[in-house]
Structure 1
Amino acid sequence: MKARGILALLLLAQTLTAQDTIRFDKALAVQSGSRYGREAIYTDLLSYQLFNGQLQPGAGNLFDKTGNGDSIIWRPVTADESGRFRVFSRRNFQRSNNPFLNPGAVDRGADYLYITYDAPRQQAVLLRIQGSAGLYINGAPHMGDPYSAGYMHIPVLLKKGLNEIYIRGANVLPELIPVHQAFHLHTDDITAPHIVLNKNNSRLKVALVVSNASAGAAADLSVTATIQGKALTSAVAAIPGLATRKIFFEVDGSAINQKGKYDCKLVLKQGNQTVHSASITLEAVLPGEHYSATFVSGIDGSLQYYAVTPQVQGNKESQALFLSVHGAGVEAIGQARAYQPKDWGNLVAATNRRPRGFNWEDWGRLDAMEVLQITKDNFKPDPSRIYLTGHSMGGHGTWFLGATYPDKWAAIGPAAGYASLKDYGSADGRIPDSARSEVERLLLRSGNQSDVPKLAANYQPLGVYILHGDSDRVVPVTYARQMREVLAGFHKDFSYYEYPGGEHWFGDQSVDWPPMFDYFKWHRRLPDSLTNTIDFTTSSPGISASYRWATIYQQLHPLQYSRIQLRRNRPAAIISGNTQNVALLKLSLDDFQPGTTINIRLDSTPTLSYTTLSFDDRLYLSKTHSGWAFTKPPAAAGKNPLRYGTFKEAFNKRMVFVVGTRGTAAETQANRDKAIYDAESWYYRGNGAVDIVNDTEYKPARYAGRNIIIYGNADNNSAWKILLSESPLQVKRNQLSTGDKKWTGDNLATYFVWPQKDTALLVGVIAGTGVKGMKAAYANQYFAGGSGFPDFMIFSDQMLKDGAAGVKLAGFFDNSWRLSKEEMAGAAD
């Protein structure tokens, strides 16, 4: 057995007056060795013990034993004057008289904090715990505030008597804030645009968080915003009971005609009754100054923003466009302000949805692409002069987006960046780069898109300018040198500069580096009609499928690397080349005249001939045992670039959380707790918002055009029969089956994705065979940037103790959404 550690704190509340924030000063602490990161598998012995009624915190009590037989026991700790518990990180290994282990044991640091509060009565409070990665209160999971942002307010209903809170974290400030009214407009996390003078400011969109501390869901809500005498009322989204949601509304800023800051009064109503009011500040800027603009995201219908460094003397069409991606902890508007305006184009900074967000992968990637499309539509740049750059985490974003979408850019400029989360990691840790079993190998394959050096050949048509300070201690210059060496093996047009003495940030020139922008000026993106050579690699058509006139439509083996190397000779009407791991290839023949007979030879197989019928012919070729063959356009129901999987893809396209309520009270509570926790995590990590409905409210027509996330199983979620009756994975009370395999017990769980009958949409499933199984699925590492999840994963609560050994089966569906033994792996029973 491996050595385990945990930090749990038994915190005795300071008894304050009813109006005061409740803080804590004493605690118990213990080590668990919990492991969460950028992978599907997580381990957490404290959670396992909590779910199974085995947890017994108490001074001197035994929690577990290390592999060496040393006892891990609970110990008291004390908060500082501010109420913050500061305990050493588990990155600090030491052997000494540490307070968490018996003498002689290895210290792996603190993982959890445990608080109790003896409530004199049942009461609603807002729980705010800065520094926590996650927590349980009376057994229910909630999102923490790992970056100590301070705006995570969780409405909870305390029971009379003892209330227990387990906090995962080593440097936390826990607080309980008594609630005196059901609804509250929180003004500490606002998404707002600037009021740009001389523009149409009559319907500006602004977002903030509303908490609902009542037990029932709140509908019929509206916000009236008044600024400079102009009032505008907006209906806003429903908010579940004992939950929060970031809602957006409109503001009429048309009366503002001078630069400055202006108060905007907000009134929240339910029906005709005012339930809360607040005031926020909006800022007006002059034309030509840096500004923020908001937009409604197609990912989830939430309000997001991007920032702009406008072109000198105003926008002119057919100029350059620079997309800049920021570093960890940096706001997009701060990123934009680091650049001086250019006289040859606009610069826009996307948000990654949060200053840390998703490391520009997953939904951070989608955010960048949304902003790119919006600003292309707004500014109408020259398509041959679109450039990508970024700093630190944004340097990684530049490497990643440049390799993932190589046909979007004329040149890229990573600054102080690292190429891969396998090499660097950051807050959520690194993506693992090795596996000990077939299950682990399959799960790691789900994250292949993040291994940027494997995609490096995609940089061949791009200009690449690498900038890095040679004294950078945050992202050492070795990461830049790594990519210089990779590019040197094949790239004929890249530039490399190490800034002498430059640390991670050496002023605005860390991003606004004149030689880089001069380098950009020399580069143009060729149109498709002049691009006759393709060398393109992807790990997933669902992330990146196309380069110019060729599309990897389906793979032979999902999420293994696919590569096409094609050459087009237009005068001779020949297309030839090689493919790897491609099952279905789509060729666009726009650049050939109608009536042209094209000879196609792939992988040294027999030549195929096709005569074009129009200027927009699309040709589909399938890989067979005897070679390539023409085929009809594939059925839309199959896997395709618009709906390819994996499980994480289900959280795109304005997903709706559907909570099963047809089971026992405990099952319903576990389903709801998980959905609320996921919604909180989505908000915190992605500045997002999501609709949560009971299964009894779900009607396909009501939620047409949207992905659905099911919480529960076939016995307790009535939407299962509507959406999942044809799925080969079936989950019932005490039973889970797939194909010819069946498992029994109440402690089994699964995550999987399944196509809706609407051929553009998906169903994501989070299911358990019982309360224990649902609780085993509580963790949501699928929201960690770059983490890999396959199409399906079946596991028991033993995974919390034993890692991969607790995974029963994981794998990918084939291109027709059928089970394939070749594409799955499982632990031995």
Structure 2
Amino acid sequence: MLKHLFTIIILIAASKAFAQDTLKFENALTVASGSRYGREAIYTDQLAYKMANGTLQTPNESGEFTSGANGEKIFWKAIKADANGRFSVFTRRSTQTTNNPFLNPGGIDRGSDYIYLSYTSLKEQTAILNVIGGNTLFFNGIPHMGDPYGSGYMHIPVQLKKGVNELFVRGASILPRIILNVKPLIIHTDDLTLPHIVISEINGILKGAITISNSSLNDEDALQIKTILNGRQKQTKIAKILKLSMRKSIFDFDASAVREEGNYNLEIQLLKNGKIADLQNLSVEAVKGSSSYKQTFISKIDGSLQYFAVTPQLGGWKPNSALFLSVHGAGVEAIGQARAYKSKDWGTVAAATNRRPRGFNWEDWGRQDALEVLELAKKQFKPNEKQIYLTGHSMGGHGTWFLGATYPDKWAAIAPAAGYASLKDYGSADGKIPDSSKNMIEKMLLRAGNQSDVPKLANNYKQLGVYILHGDADRVVPVSYARQMKKVLADFHPDFSYYEYPGGEHWFGDQSVDWPPIFNFFKWHNIKADSAVNHIDFITSSPGISATYRWATIHQQIQPSQYSRIILNRDRKSSTITGKTENIEMLRLALTEFAAKTSVKITLDSLADINYITQTDHDTLTLEKSDQQWQIVKGVNVQNKNPLRSGTFKEAFNYKMIFVVGTKGNAEANQANLNKAKYDAESWYYRGNGAVDIITDKEFLGSKYAGRNIILYGNSENNSAWKGLLKDCPIQVSNTQITAGKHQWKGADLAAYYIWPQKDPKLLIGVVAGTGAVGTKVAYANQYFAGGSGFPDFMIFSSDLPKQGSKGIKLTGFYNNKWQLDEKNVAKSE
């Protein structure tokens, strides 16, 4: 029966000296497994639970998988592929109901099905696995990133064992292929990051990036890419590519010989020991300076190559003109976004990428990408600092609402088009963020994602002009979302405009974004100078995300990730600052509007006055609240929490993080550590167009990797880098137990995600730990890469998590400002 069930179609494609065999599947099994993933730390996945605990049985047709919530039996069922080899299962809504939004956000069962396939190999060999569709997959028990958006570029090197090889894919529509007899090193051309050659610019060395897979059983650390364009050659050493892995690699090419528009052949040679391991030809386009174009840059987030798109100012950019930052919708490329705009005679349009067409919903690393592009565009185009504007469509409409509320002093005006304000209300592809919970652990997790609840930050729009555009026939993002925010603004906002386009669907032509009234609205809005703003009213959920508004900075909170607010009034005539604060422990005030030797009186929260005599005309004063009194702090301990390093766990994946894998355990534990690191790297690549260095604990030398965040995989007994980095941390993980201050749990199936500060005041250590291989396998799921998901500073859980959701979490919460465990900010299991 199994031989018949997993029939393989073999397609042979000749490739130079290699004859690649592409295997497609005709038959498979599927099960409505009830797995639930979304934008939360909590997930449920019975199959992953069984796999981690070694209890998953080889599926067979009509065989029992598990029992449902009401005792009903759930069976594997046979399915057939269509003519293209695609398997589709249309059971997208849950058969189990629950009132817990963490288990069933929005009532939608996203990816509840698993599809099972197997292939019998006559020998041990390496291959490329390419599964289009699906969220996560397990190949012979090893987790890999899926391809939920059907992009097609996940070419995952795998090792086939002799005999039966098993593939489990979580998803409802997949096109799986196994490619045999592949070259050890392959250049893939279906996921390029390339700039345009702009004729009017001085084009010398430009940067591109391409994906390379290494299906050999050796790490490759001495590879180079040689490029040839119009007779000009350039050679670039590329970063190490681990065995059985893929990586996006940066290369240089010389465009100095290109002087006319058109498409040019760019030859890419992958060199190993000076010999060509693979060769591909790409097309790179040269455009006029008046056309929209792509421009690449190296991201400070992870050192990867990203791009932004530009629609130039009419007649060429001129200093002191306007700058319009545009953020795109889901599935839209930044260059497509830029091309939707006609050139403006008074400014330049810059379109950020969110790192991918879907990326992070303009939150988390998408938010950081927007800020990176904003700073790069300001440096390049030298705009009038008073004329910076923000706009976007669909998911980019959400990005506009979110970035506008999070950084209100960066924009003169914002214009969300066809957007939704909050992921709690709309959700998008990964589902909604739950709105609330009665469970203390779930409340703590939701608190870590407070930045996504945009309506709670709506007061920040008060100093901005806001123009809302929405089609009244929009069925993708219904107009009710625009009306919701119109109602919110109407209660307090003195300066917003609202227009519903009659009969307008989600996209009604380029005017869906390039709407003339928006730019007319922008024209009569300017960012006021800080000297002209004497009243501040600002809310943030975290100083690590947004700390400063004008001349005030929220340096530390009392309750981490709860909303903090400052309402301040500055009176230069009387030399006073008065106001009130909420959830703030440390506050910095720039006294730049007071001359030297001025006696300034500060009164906050109706507490005792603070009197201070300025030393210069640019003093900065730091105040700390202690025992219900504000007092001046002369020295700030930079090792404590601060806006550069405030938490949460997701913050560890910044500052060019490096993954350090433990190798000092038994073979199973070491392999689980490596599997997890490679899965995270694949997910980072897929979701964030990123690239990560993965090294072993043996290779780790602190001085060599200074200035970078570190992600440790393993525990104190199997990762030799642990002791030097985490010896003072109150959370410790061994092979048999986890301790967190006074709390202790024993077992071989425990896991933890947490952070700990490095000596550098902006850097962190992220820890992905398990007490044993089972614990590490339970930690495989990387929900922290889902845009908007909330992860506190630490989270300790057992193998019950994928089976029982929040009941499997032992402890979660936040360190206090001194990086100490504080029971006030901890939630634990009953």
> TM-score band (shorter)?
over 0.9
How far off is 1:13 after superposition? 2.6
How far off is 1:19 after superposition? 2.8
2:44 aligned with 1:43 = yes
- Cα deviation code 1:715-749 (max 9, x no counterpart): 00011011111100000101111111111111000
**Match in the other structure for 1:353:** 355
**Match in the other structure for 1:611:** 613
**Match in the other structure for 2:269:** 267
With 434-443 and 486-495 compared, the bigger mean Cα shift is at 434-443
**Match in the other structure for 2:421:** 419
With 210-219 and 365-374 compared, the bigger mean Cα shift is at 210-219
**1:573/1:766 CA distance change after superposition, 3 Å:** same
How far off is 1:109 after superposition? 8.1
83, 86, 95: which one pairs with 1:84?
86
How far off is 1:110 after superposition? 4.9
529, 536, 540: which one pairs with 2:538?
536
757, 766, 769: which one pairs with 1:767?
769
Q: How does 1:746-761 map to 2 (within 5 A)?
A: 746-761=748-763
**Match in the other structure for 1:594:** 596
Q: Could you tell me how far apart the structure 2 residues matched to 1:824 and 1:626 are?
A: 23
Q: Could you tell me how far apart the structure 1 residues matched to 2:634 and 2:684 are?
A: 40
1:310–1:346 CA contact under 8 A, matched in 2: yes
2:111–2:170 CA contact under 8 A, matched in 1: no
2:362 counterpart SS class? coil
2:53 aligned with 1:34 = no
Q: How does 1:402-481 map to 2 (within 5 A)?
A: 402-481=404-483
How far off is 1:119 after superposition? 0.5
119, 127, 132: which one pairs with 1:125?
127
How far off is 1:93 after superposition? 6.3
2, 9, 12: which one pairs with 1:14?
9
For residue 253 of structure 1, what is the amino acid of its counterpart? A
For residue 54 of structure 1, what is the amino acid of its counterpart? T
Q: TM-score, normalised on structure 2?
A: 0.96
- Cα deviation code 1:39-58 (max 9, x no counterpart): 11111001111122222211
- Cα deviation code 1:179-235 (max 9, x no counterpart): 432101111100010000031211100001010011121011111100110001111
**1:15/1:510 CA distance change after superposition, 3 Å:** closer
**Match in the other structure for 2:668:** 666
2:35–2:111 CA contact under 8 A, matched in 1: no
**1:577/1:179 CA distance change after superposition, 3 Å:** farther
1:219–1:270 CA contact under 8 A, matched in 2: no
**1:505/1:657 CA distance change after superposition, 3 Å:** same
Q: Could you tell me how far apart the structure 1 residues matched to 2:62 and 2:578 are?
A: 72
For residue 168 of structure 1, what is the amino acid of its counterpart? R
How far off is 1:339 after superposition? 0.2
**Match in the other structure for 1:733:** 735
- Cα deviation code 1:599-635 (max 9, x no counterpart): 1000111111111001221101111223211112320
Q: How does 1:401-800 map to 2 (within 5 A)?
A: 401-800=403-802
1:93–1:109 CA contact under 8 A, matched in 2: no
- Cα deviation code 1:35-87 (max 9, x no counterpart): 11101111100111112222221112111122222211111111111110011
**1:728/1:529 CA distance change after superposition, 3 Å:** same
**Match in the other structure for 1:255:** 257
2:23 counterpart SS class? coil
- Cα deviation code 1:784-817 (max 9, x no counterpart): 0000000000000101110000000001000000
**Match in the other structure for 1:319:** 321
Q: Could you tell me how far apart the structure 2 residues matched to 1:286 and 1:662 are?
A: 57
For residue 456 of structure 1, what is the amino acid of its counterpart? A
For residue 21 of structure 2, what is the amino acid of its counterpart? D
Q: Could you tell me how far apart the structure 2 residues matched to 1:565 and 1:673 are?
A: 49
**Match in the other structure for 1:55:** 56
294, 307, 310: which one pairs with 1:292?
294
How far off is 1:355 after superposition? 0.2
Structure 2: where are the runs of 5+ without partners?
13-18, 98-107
**1:591/1:209 CA distance change after superposition, 3 Å:** same
Q: How does 1:61-210 map to 2 (within 5 A)?
A: 61-91=63-93, 110-210=112-212
Q: Could you tell me how far apart the structure 2 residues matched to 1:361 and 1:94 are?
A: 31
For residue 195 of structure 1, what is the amino acid of its counterpart? I
How far off is 1:107 after superposition? 10
Q: Could you tell me how far apart the structure 1 residues matched to 2:221 and 2:446 are?
A: 42
1:294 counterpart SS class? strand
For residue 223 of structure 2, what is the amino acid of its counterpart? L
1:387 counterpart SS class? strand
2:36–2:112 CA contact under 8 A, matched in 1: no
**Match in the other structure for 1:6:** none
Q: Could you tell me how far apart the structure 2 residues matched to 1:29 and 1:295 are?
A: 43
809, 812, 818: which one pairs with 1:810?
812
Q: Could you tell me how far apart the structure 1 residues matched to 2:670 and 2:244 are?
A: 15
1:809 counterpart SS class? strand
1:336 counterpart SS class? helix
Q: Could you tell me how far apart the structure 2 residues matched to 1:546 and 1:108 are?
A: 38
1:10–1:114 CA contact under 8 A, matched in 2: no
Task: List, as ranges, runs of 4+ consecutive aligned residues in structure 1 with deviation greater than 4 Å.
Answer: 15-18, 92-95, 106-110
Root-mean-square deviation over aligned CA pairs: 1.5
How far off is 1:272 after superposition? 1.7
Q: Could you tell me how far apart the structure 1 residues matched to 2:552 and 2:562 are?
A: 19
Q: Could you tell me how far apart the structure 1 residues matched to 2:740 and 2:350 are?
A: 47
With 86-95 and 569-578 compared, the bigger mean Cα shift is at 86-95
1:622 counterpart SS class? strand
- Cα deviation code 1:235-276 (max 9, x no counterpart): 111111100110011110111111000010011112322211
How far off is 1:697 after superposition? 0.3
Q: Could you tell me how far apart the structure 1 residues matched to 2:109 and 2:231 are?
A: 62
**1:636/1:688 CA distance change after superposition, 3 Å:** same
How far off is 1:529 after superposition? 0.9
1:308–1:347 CA contact under 8 A, matched in 2: yes
1:88–1:109 CA contact under 8 A, matched in 2: no
**1:242/1:418 CA distance change after superposition, 3 Å:** same
Q: Could you tell me how far apart the structure 2 residues matched to 1:200 and 1:281 are?
A: 20
Structure 1: where are the runs of 5+ without partners?
1-8, 96-105
1:655–1:707 CA contact under 8 A, matched in 2: yes
With 478-487 and 626-635 compared, the bigger mean Cα shift is at 626-635
**1:154/1:611 CA distance change after superposition, 3 Å:** same
- Cα deviation code 1:268-312 (max 9, x no counterpart): 112322211111110000111110000000000000000000001
- Cα deviation code 1:576-610 (max 9, x no counterpart): 00100000000011121001111100011111111
% identity of equivalent residues? 58
2:110–2:431 CA contact under 8 A, matched in 1: no
How far off is 1:166 after superposition? 0.5
**1:779/1:11 CA distance change after superposition, 3 Å:** farther
